[in-house]
Amino acid sequence: MNITIKSNLIFYYLFCLYLCFFDEPIEIHASSAVSVSRDTAALARSYQKLSLSQYSQGMKLIQLLKIKPGEKILDIGCGTGELTAYSAQLCAPRGIVVGIDPSPYRIDLARKKRIKYCSFQVASSDNLSAFPSNHFDVVYLNYVFHWIADKKSVLKEIFRILKPGGRLGITMGDKQQNSTVFAILMTSIKETMGKIPYGELVTPYYISKEQLLQLANQCGYSVDSLTVEENIHYLNSPTEVIEFFEASDFGNFLGGIPQQTKTKIIHKMKEKLAQISIPGRGIEMKYRTLIFVGHKPKNKSSPRPKLGFKNP
């Protein structure tokens, strides 16, 4: 199931084969999918408050995409609309940004901002058929693509709705991670349960830089750049880390684990996080990010548009 979740830097889903070695690369394994039905208005507000690091990385992606006045843009997994608003400033006054997200709570917060040159809709990447072919100048997914299971189908649909010469931007978590926080989560689960129940945990569908390059080529894109960047930001306290986790995945954090066991895991995790807190900074959240920019070749066009909801 493809879920377009503008997921901030969602650290706790990273599954490690080498739990005892905090400085070793961690390879990510996917299992259960996110359920949007667990989202709440409170979680959406928390996400809006704690998503600065994701927004900052998204601004870098937007700069690489070189948005121009008058262009039509699609923000897939727009969350509460911060990056959508930034993009709108660049395409104004003749352009427009369409932001879509599967959470009605997050779309509601985005609409309340009353951002000029923006349109927000509850929708997800698993069905882009409502958008006309050869329609958008730019499509981007900021920390969303790792939540999509059928990446190839989504890339093909984006290719269809992009104009010839249109650009695609993606930021997503790398398959290999290197963070103490990841290991703390895993060791807390293992110490509490005696094992790590991968099938009961919600995890993203991470891929490597090489796999992303291969997918883009298979779907017809010309690749302009593909880099890996390690990002670091800080959260103030163990409680804020847990709040960040809950808000970033629509309340699916440890969702498949019984509540009593989940409470014990969180307590153990908070104790360990407190031990690594840096005075004056807080808890270091480290994350490896893939940054992709490509375009649809100008000699490629897509079939006629399909009918759907009204487009700008």
Domains belonging to the chain, first-starting first, are: 11-295 (3.40.50.150)
How far apart CA 29 and CA 206 sit, in angstroms, is 7
Query: What's the angle, vertex CA 264, arms to CA 24 and CA 44, rounded to 5?
Result: 80
Question: Quick one: pLDDT band at residue 52, thresholds 50, 70, 90?
Answer: confident
Confidence of residue 248 (pLDDT cuts 50, 70, 90): confident
d(CA 241, CA 275): 14
Across-strand partners of 286?
232
**Residue 206 φ/ψ, nearest 5 degrees:** -75, 150
Over the stretch 157-216, which tens digit does the pLDDT of each residue have?
Answer: 999 999 999 999 999 999 988 888 888 999 999 999 999 888 788 777 889 999 999 999
Q: What are phi and psi of 109, to 5 degrees?
A: -65, -40
Phi, psi of 215 (to 5 degrees): -60, -45
CB atoms within 10 A of CB 234: 14
Say yes or no to pLDDT of 110 above 90. yes
User: What average pLDDT does the segment 113-129 reach?
Assistant: 94
Q: What is the pLDDT of residue 304?
A: 52
User: Residue 201's pLDDT is what?
Assistant: 81
Helices marked H in 220-258: 238-248
Instruction: Inform me whether the pLDDT recorded for 10 exceeds 50.
Output: no
HEC letters along 58-100: HHHHHHHHCCCCCCEEEEECCCCCHHHHHHHHHHCCCCEEEEE
Mean pLDDT of 214-243: 95
What's this model's pTM, rounded to 2 decimal places? Answer: 0.83
Per-residue confidence at 227, pLDDT binned at 50, 70, 90?
Answer: very high
1 band by pLDDT with thresholds 50, 70 and 90 = very low
Tokens linked to 189: 């689960």
